[in-house]
Copies of this chain bind each other. A is one copy, B any other.
Amino acid sequence: MLPIPFLVLLLSSILSPSSAADFCAADLSLPTNPAGFSCKKASTVSTSDFVFSGLGAPGNTNNIVKAAVTPAFTTQFPGLNGLGLSLARLDLAIDGVVPLHTHPAASEVLLVIQGSIEAGFISSSNTVYYKTLSEGDTMVFPQGLLHFQVQSGSTPAVAFATFNSPDPGLQITSLSLFGSSLPSHLVEKVTFLDDAQVKKLKKVLGGTG
């Protein structure tokens, strides 16, 4: 028979330093650095750090884009900290659209769960890759490239996006241009858009300047 104490002795000598490497559930109360959040002490980590239930319910699509994005990033899901991946749920009502955007810090794979979505991205050489995706289809959007998702067909759509970063970022082009304080004359100069167009959309999207 194997005597427990000796084995425990073995364990205590070799396992204590290693547990730090397993995971690093985020302590959201401390400052971040480029590698992410500080780790909670191991003794305060529990299963709830590794399980997130917020993607089960549809987001509220009762808005102008008829779309909702529900993130499961580090802030919502502390167990992801340092592990290099995250998710988001996408709900698209009829005519719903996720406007043109980029994720500065991650590539994305979209997985359609319900309905149809016309999705695409544009490369640096201005080649467009797009397709109408059906249930079960997946599409990859390489890091930092402009892409979009538009509801298609006759039913609302649900999809999940997965990212290779716990904090992928999200920059919506039209909100950057027309929902920010970038002065109109600069917007026009750097996009070739007409003054009337810029001012019209600034009014709608809350931009100033």
Contacts and interface: CB of A to CB of B under 8 A. Distances in A.
Given A53-B136, A84-B164, A123 B4 contact: no
B17 A24 contact: no
Nearest to A58: B136
Contacts of A175: 7, 11, 126
Contact of A2 (B70, B107, B126, B192): B192
A32 B22 contact: no
Interface residues of A, number: 148
Given A67-B10, A80-B109, A83-B143, A17 B138 contact: no
Contacts of A120: 182, 186
A131 B22 contact: no
Contacts of A86: 109
Interface string A98-142: 111011111111010100001011111111111101111111111
Contact of A79 (B1, B103, B140, B168): B140
A26 to B, nearest CB: 9
A55 interface: yes
B21 A167 contact: yes
Contacts of A107: 83-85
Interface of A: 1-4, 6-11, 13-24, 27, 30-39, 41-42, 46-47, 50-53, 55-57, 59-60, 62-65, 67-77, 79-88, 97-100, 102-109, 111, 113, 118, 120-131, 133-146, 148, 150, 160, 162-165, 167-182, 186, 189-194, 197, 200-201, 204-206
Which 9 A-B pairs have CB atoms at the shortest separation, nearest pair first? A56-B136, A104-B144, A34-B82, A6-B63, A35-B35, A162-B162, A84-B164, A21-B169, A21-B167
24 contacts: A2-B204, A7-B179, A21-B169, A22-B142, A23-B123, A27-B31, A31-B38, A33-B36, A42-B125, A47-B130, A55-B111, A85-B164, A99-B191, A99-B192, A100-B177, A102-B102, A104-B143, A104-B145, A122-B171, A126-B175, A144-B171, A146-B171, A150-B190, A192-B204
